[in-house]
Amino acid sequence: MKKGTGSDPFADIQDEDREETRETEDPTDERVDDEPDSEPEQTTETETPPTDGPSNAGDSGAENGSSTRDSIIGEPPQNGANDAGVPWVYVRDNVKQDREMVQFYLRDYVVDAEDEFVDAVSEELGTDVSKTDVREAAYEAAMYNVDEVVDRLRAWGFESVD
Amino acid sequence: MLTYTTYSEAGGVGKTTIGAALLECHAGHGFDVLAIDMDQQNGSLTYLLDVDAPRDDSQADNIVRHLIDRPKGPLDDLILETEFGLDVLPSHNMLENLEDLLKRAQQMAEDLGEGGEFDPYDRLRQVLLESGVPQKYDVIVVDPPATAGPHLYNAVSATRSLVIPVEPTGKGMQSVLGLEELVDGLEDRLEAEIGVLSAVPNGVGRTADQDRYMTEIRNRGYPAPVAIRDRSSLFEGCWDRQCTPRYYIENHRDRKRDHEMETLEKIDQLATKIEEVGGL
């Protein structure tokens, strides 16, 4: 329990009115010349693994011709470990700050595996991470790995109709 | 948008009266205000605000029918105007059986294979989301009964913020502690963050007591911008005449009393503070 307002119960309906606040806060992109070795590989994801994924469902694929396919997900709106300033994880007041709640429906075997997953991630990082953070990171990571998601869905039985 | 639940674990601490006074202030500040009465008791907001709601007609559409997915019409049609500048979604006697009704509705949803979509503690928020009602208001306040249960859970899930009148006694402070546990559990259950907009020590006697309790509440990390002195005569008058405190003083007191005007002023300050914190 914290002081101040809680999360927004009607975020779903207010999103539309609020879109414009997003674009202002792009982190300054100053990492061109200094190349820290801890750079995550997300920015170099130009070998376009995602192209075969979702595009065969919707046939139009409007601007597919250009070689640099836009990334599915953009840069996070807050400072990261490699940007100038204090990383988001340190400036937020609590784990739910700036986050919208979305409902996920998960099968039991996934729910059962979550704790172990969180532990494994925490162990790798050498610090405790909340389930909420791990979940979002996992989802974000999946957005850079469309192929793998597609494979998993195929394994569940999703297949193209033709 | 500002949404909150007025809640206290102890009954009779002026929760509903203070809630009504706050609502009236929000309306007076130019906001569109909706009060949702989830309290099945006779001494509820619906009674205080003197609206003519068919609370014992089980055939009539009412909030519970919407919560259990058996509405008889749009939610909008249930909302009544009051003469205090705010609207109210009134209470209904069916709220007495809310827990049981929700269980049955959930069972039915499960039988139909829709069980995952029916969360008995998140029904009010869902119903509001689907109704388009929240878009019409700047402030929505839910007044649940002073007991933990599905009324409270639905209220908190739909508002995510709390205003907590506190009886300035050891027992009252104890109820704040109880509330902390309850809210922690709710946050996990609802996967939502719950905030405390303000604690409101109410019925405070001497100034020294007032200071002590304000300090204690603030030391626990809760904002408590004002404490309300013991105003039982004013609050009882409100119930007697079925109106808000400001309306009572303006229309039913032969003269304005300084100490009562001061109380109204404090409640107005509190409303302003809550609006600020709520981002209005």
pLDDT at residue A94, rounded to an integer: 74
pLDDT-above-70 percentage for chain B: 95
Min distance B183 CA to chain A CA atoms (Å):
6
**Region B197-205 average pLDDT:** 82
Using the predicted structure, report yes or no on whether residue B81 has a pLDDT greater than 50.
yes
Q: What is the ipTM of this complex?
A: 0.74
Cα–Cα distances in angstroms (integers) from residue B144 to residues A71, B4, B91, B191, B202, in the given order:
47, 11, 10, 20, 18
Nearest Cα to Cα of residue B193 among A98, A65, A115: A98
Instruction: Kindly report, residue by residue over B175-189, the tens digit of the pLDDT.
Output: 777 777 877 887 888
pLDDT at residue A146, rounded to an integer: 92
**Taking a contact as any Cβ pair under 8 Å apart, which residues of chain B between 125 and 184 contact chain A?**
125, 128-129, 134-135, 157-162, 179-180, 183-184
Instruction: Kindly report, residue by residue over A43-100, the tens digit of the pLDDT.
Output: 444 444 444 434 333 333 334 433 344 578 888 887 777 776 677 787 777 777 778 8
Min distance A7 CA to chain B CA atoms (Å):
5
pLDDT at residue A23, rounded to an integer: 40
Contact call for A3 and B195, based on CB within 8 A = yes
Collect all residues from A whose CB is shorter than 8 A from any CB in B.
1-10, 12-14, 94, 96, 101, 105
Residue B129: which residues within 8 A CB-CB, separation 6 or more? A10, A12, A13
Task: Kindly write down the DSSP assignment for every residue of A66-112, as one continuous string.
Answer: SSSPPPSS---SS--TTSSS--HHHH-SSTTTT---------HHHHH
Q: Specify the higher pLDDT residue, B95 or A161.
A: B95
Angle at B99 between CA B94 and CA B104, to 5 degrees: 95
Min distance B170 CA to chain A CA atoms (Å):
21
Q: Which of B3, B157, B196 sits opposite A1 (nearest CB)?
A: B196
Using the predicted structure, report yes or no on whether residue A18 has a pLDDT greater than 50.
no
User: What is the pLDDT confidence band of residue B244, given thresholds at 50, 70 and 90?
Assistant: very high
Max avg pLDDT among A87-96, B79-88, B111-120: B79-88
Nearest Cα to Cα of residue A79 among A89, A93, A69: A89
How crowded is residue B168: how many other Cβ atoms within 10 Å of its Cβ? Answer: 23
Worst-scoring range by mean pLDDT, B76-85, B168-177, B234-243?
B168-177
Chain A's closest residue to B129, CA to CA, is A10
pTM over 0.80: no
Q: Specify the higher pLDDT residue, A125 or B37.
A: B37
A20 exposure class (CB count in 10 Å sphere: 0-12, 13-18, 19+): exposed
Report how far residue A148's alpha carbon sits from residue B33's, in angstroms, rounded to the nearest whole number: 49
HSE toward the beta carbon, residue A144, CA cutoff 13 A: 15
HSE toward the beta carbon, residue A56, CA cutoff 13 A: 12
**Region B46-70 average pLDDT:** 88
Structure tokens at A119: 């532990």
Residue B73: which residues within 8 A CB-CB, separation 6 or more? B61
How crowded is residue A3: how many other Cβ atoms within 10 Å of its Cβ? Answer: 17
Chain A's closest residue to B178, CA to CA, is A1
Work out whether the CA dihedral A28, A33, A36, A40 comes out positive or negative. Answer: positive
Task: Kindly write down the DSSP assignment for every residue of B100-143, as one continuous string.
Answer: HHHHHHHHHHHHTT-GGG--TTSHHHHHHHHHT-GGG-SEEEEE
Report how far residue B182's alpha carbon sits from residue B179's, in angstroms, rounded to the nearest whole number: 5
Q: Which of A1, A3, A13 sits opposite B223 (nearest CB)?
A: A3
Using the predicted structure, report yes or no on whether residue A14 has a pLDDT greater than 90.
no
Cα–Cα distances in angstroms (integers) from residue B20 to residues B115, B128, B140, in the given order:
37, 21, 12
Using the predicted structure, report yes or no on whether residue B133 has a pLDDT greater than 90.
yes
Report how far residue B275's alpha carbon sits from residue B268's, in angstroms, rounded to the nearest whole number: 10
